[in-house]
Each structure stands twice: as C-alpha cells, then as structure tokens.
C-alpha cells in the first residue's frame, strides 16, 4: 500500500532515521567495530538532545577495540512517577548475500512508502520510531513525567553477551517498573500484538575435517572420506523422518502451553495459505501433525543456518572436500535448559561423526532461555487499552518464535514487568536481502510510544 503524507514522520525524524541506517553496524564482524562505535556515539548525542544523561558502557575486560559498546542513558522524571526501562539494539545482521540486494544495503532507499536498508526494521526502525514518539511526548506533555532509562545494545544479533555482563554489574541502577521493548511483530495486516512469550536461542559452528587438503576426485574418489557428504549426513541426523528432533533428551521436560494460551495464540495465527504467500513455500517444515502455531510458538527447533564446503564457483572442480563448516541455531521453549540442550546436541554430533573425520564445535553464543509471561499481567491490560485506541480491532496475544536473548535477564535484574510490542511484518524481510520498513509501521511505533507513556503517567 502506498503511504499518504499523513503517515510519514516529520523531516527531522526521517533525516535522523536515514542517518542512523547508514552506519553499517554488523556487530558480529570485527571489521565493523569502528562503525558500531561511531553509531553508539551518535545515539549518545541523540539521547542527550532529549535531556538524558548518556554514556557508552563496556563489560569489564572489554574495550572499544574488542566489543561494540552499550549506550546507556537516563532521563530523570518527577518524584512519584513510574520508572521505565527501554531496550533496543543498533547492531544488524550481515547484509550477505550482497548480489540479491536491489538497492545498496546501507544506503536507505524509499520506494512507495517503504524504506529499504539493512536495519530498516530490525531494530533501528522500530526502536528509533519509539524514541521519536518518546521525544514528542516529552515535548508536549503538560503534567509530571516518568523517569526513562535507555539501553541500546550493540550485540543483540549475536547473543548480547556484553550487555548481560553489564546488566549483572548495574543492579539497582536498572531498577524500573516496566521494561519496554519494540523489536517484535504485529499480527496480520498490522493488527497490534502483545508478545506473551519468546523462545530462547543458542548459535554455534560445527567444523568437520577429513584429509589434509582437497583431493582429486578421480584419483581418490571411493577411497578417502568426503567432508561435504559427511556434513550432510551429520546435519540430517539431527531430525527424524517426521521432522521431530532426533537428539535424545533434547525435548525432555518441555512445558506445554495452557489451553488458554493455545487458544489465544491460534486466534492471531496466520493461515497456511498466508504463510505460503509470504514465503513462497508451503509451511511444511518442523514436526508433522502439529499446527503452524504450535510449531512456531511452543516447540523447539534445531536449524541449519548455512553449510559451506568444497567448490562453489563457476563451472566444475572435481575435488573431494577436506573440510566442511555448518552454522546452526537452536530455539528453546519453557522447560528446556540451554546448556543442557547444547551438551546433548554435542554428544549426538560426536556419536554420529562419520568415520575418518574429526569434529570441532566452536563460536557458541547465546545460551538464552525461553520466556513466557502470564496473560493476566496488569501491564498487559494497560497496553491493550492503549493499542485499542490506536487500532479499533484491538490487540491480540502472540508467542513469538523468535528470541531477544537479553530480555529475561533485564527483567530479572531490573525487577520490571516486560512489555514487548512491535510492528514488524513478514514482508519486511528481516535477516534477508532487501529488508524494509514502511512509514505506516514507523508511525504506528511512534504512536504506541507516546500512548504508552501517557498511560503510564496516569
């Protein structure tokens, strides 16, 4: 849908948004560490511009030469008013594969009311729109104001390890009444959604080695083990023919949803046809016999994110690959312990390593547990009222299949009630080439921020 002028931010906000997007803040890539630091300094200045005291934080033992900083800010409010902790992240996914982008990945490009750029939605677009809504509220509100604390993460896409260490050391400095996060999705057609649960996550790399170098497939074919074939067999061993996880003990102790939770989740669910239209493929992955909602919201996964081995250039090269690499991620649900699950997966992989090959597991990050919140949370009722004013259809509840690893830690350390509301959609293509965010979504995030602050001020 082409956006109208009334659904656009003002010129200052759009210019700032574009400036923020131009920082190539790939937090997992050391080559982009300088870009992350520059972006963090830009955000620090922006927060100071709305009256917050702000500074860059690094975990003990870290430095600007090693770790993207956390931006922490605090805007003091009036006595007796609530304290809000706001979390967002400025790091983004790598733009690869570059040849699939239709526009430069770090040059925001507007087309029919949508902005195309890496980070346009996840999470620069969402958190910055929220910040713009806060700024507008501070400027126009006539009564008492809340205290707002800001945490802007530079490593969310890789597990928020630095943020977790910083949060553990800050304790009372993060105390708050409500934890607000704008990094999730709305329901279909942008109907507002309150997130009542997130899956946990761990990422890791599997390396498989056979011969000392790639070998001629004619001279050595049928004699030496093939690392590419071995990796394919190893990855296939993780699942049973019915799509269920084959790792023994991995699904033990899972806490299923209540009837109320499942009914609420199914109310907001997309149809199989909608998923097919959105992705271009039928939603037939995962465990057979379970609904899409159950598979995505309440069951764990082990996903192969990428496999690399041998030759992939033009023409042919008749070699037997000596090594193979696979990137994997796991999503957890309540009742699962990430460390225990990782140990079970490692045992499974070692038991199924093909003969003649050596296995190594490295680059493990995340280890974040799942989070499920009570539907009767008072802050949910307040949010539902605000969202009902924004959209007469009212809000629905969703249990997001994605993960924001640091949220459960921040909720525990701050003592705040978590409230996750975002306005993402499948067409935004986050984590993929040609990521985008519409002005309509930007303005909904902005309105949500101003409305929720007004409600919290009573």
pLDDT score at 438:
98
Q: Which residues pair with 201 in a beta bridge?
A: 331, 368
Residue 243 exposed, middle or buried by CB count within 10 Å (0-12, 13-18, 19+):
middle
- pLDDT tens, residue by residue, 24-77: 999 999 999 999 999 999 999 999 999 999 999 998 776 666 889 999 999 999
pLDDT score at 3:
39
Joined together, the tokens standing for residue 313 give: 């250039």
- Region 317-322: mean pLDDT is 97
Confidence of residue 270 (pLDDT cuts 50, 70, 90): confident
Confidence of residue 216 (pLDDT cuts 50, 70, 90): very high
Percent share of the chain, pLDDT over 90:
91
How distant, in Å, are the alpha carbons of 322, 327, 404, 412 from that of 306?
18, 5, 21, 34
Q: Please give the model's pTM, rounded to 2 decimal places.
A: 0.89
pLDDT score at 4:
39
- pLDDT tens, residue by residue, 405-417: 899 999 999 999 9
pLDDT score at 73:
98
Higher pLDDT, 159 or 199: 199
DSSP H or E segment with residue 67: none
Confidence of residue 5 (pLDDT cuts 50, 70, 90): very low
- Region 297-318: mean pLDDT is 97
pLDDT score at 269:
86
- Region 112-122: mean pLDDT is 98
Taking the C-alpha atoms of residue 253 and residue 139, their distance in angstroms, rounded to an integer, is: 50
DSSP H or E segment with residue 343: helix 338-351
How distant, in Å, are the alpha carbons of 56, 132, 395, 400 from that of 187?
35, 23, 9, 11
Phi first, then psi, for residue 132 (nearest 5°) are -65, -40
DSSP class of residue 427 equals G
Joined together, the tokens standing for residue 285 give: 């992955």
Domains along the chain with CATH numbers:
5-184+404-456 (3.40.630.10), 200-254+300-367 (3.30.70.360)
Taking the C-alpha atoms of residue 91 and residue 190, their distance in angstroms, rounded to an integer, is: 24
């Amino acid at each position: 849908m082409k956006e109208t002028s009334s659904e656009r931010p003002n010129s200052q906000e759009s210019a700032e948004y574009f400036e923020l997007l131009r920082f190539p803040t790939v937090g997992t890539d050391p080559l982009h560490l300088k870009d992350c630091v520059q972006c963090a300094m830009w955000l620090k200045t922006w927060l100071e511009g709305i009256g917050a005291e702000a500074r860059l934080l690094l975990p003990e033992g870290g430095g600007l030469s090693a770790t993207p900083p956390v931006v922490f800010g605090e805007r003091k409010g009036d006595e007796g008013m609530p304290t809000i902790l706001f979390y967002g992240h400025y790091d983004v996914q790598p733009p690869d594969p570059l040849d699939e982008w239709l526009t430069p990945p770090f040059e925001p490009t507007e087309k029919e009311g949508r902005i195309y750029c890496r980070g346009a939605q996840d999470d620069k677009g969402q958190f910055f729109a929220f910040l713009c809504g806060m700024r507008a509220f501070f400027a126009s509100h006539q009564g008492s104001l809340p205290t707002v604390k800001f945490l802007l993460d530079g490593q969310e896409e890789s597990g928020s390890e630095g943020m977790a260490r910083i949060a553990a050391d800050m304790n009372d400095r993060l105390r708050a009444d409500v934890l607000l996060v704008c990094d999730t999705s709305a329901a279909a057609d942008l109907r507002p959604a309150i997130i009542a649960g997130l899956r946990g996550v761990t990422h890791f790399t599997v390396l498989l080695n056979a011969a000392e170098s790639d070998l001629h497939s004619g001279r050595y074919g049928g004699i030496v083990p093939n690392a590419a074939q071995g990796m394919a067999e190893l990855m296939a061993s993780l699942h049973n023919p019915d799509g269920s996880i084959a790792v023994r003990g991995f699904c033990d102790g899972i806490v299923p949803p209540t009837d109320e939770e499942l009914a609420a989740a199914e109310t907001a669910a997309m149809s199989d046809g909608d998923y097919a239209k959105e992705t271009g493929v039928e939603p037939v992955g995962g465990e057979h016999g379970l609904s899409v909602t159950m598979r995505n919201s309440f069951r764990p996964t082990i996903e192969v994110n990428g496999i690399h081995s041998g030759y992939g250039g033009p023409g042919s090269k008749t070699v037997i690959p000596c090594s193979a690499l696979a990137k994997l991620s796991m999503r957890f649900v309540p009742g699962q312990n990430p460390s225990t699950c990782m140990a079970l997966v490692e045992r499974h992989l070692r038991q199924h390593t093909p003969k003649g090959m050596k296995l190594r597991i490295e680059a493990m990050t995340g280890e974040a547990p799942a989070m499920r919140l009570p539907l009767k949370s008072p802050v949910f009722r307040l949010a539902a009222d605000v969202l009902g004013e924004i959209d007469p259809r009212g809000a629905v509840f969703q249990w997001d299949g994605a993960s924001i690893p640091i949220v459960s830690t921040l909720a525990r350390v701050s003592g705040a009630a978590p409230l996750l509301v975002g306005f993402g959609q499948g067409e935004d293509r986050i984590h993929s080439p040609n990521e985008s965010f519409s002005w309509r979504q930007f303005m909904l995030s902005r309105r949500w921020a101003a409305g929720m602050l007004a409600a919290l001020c009573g």
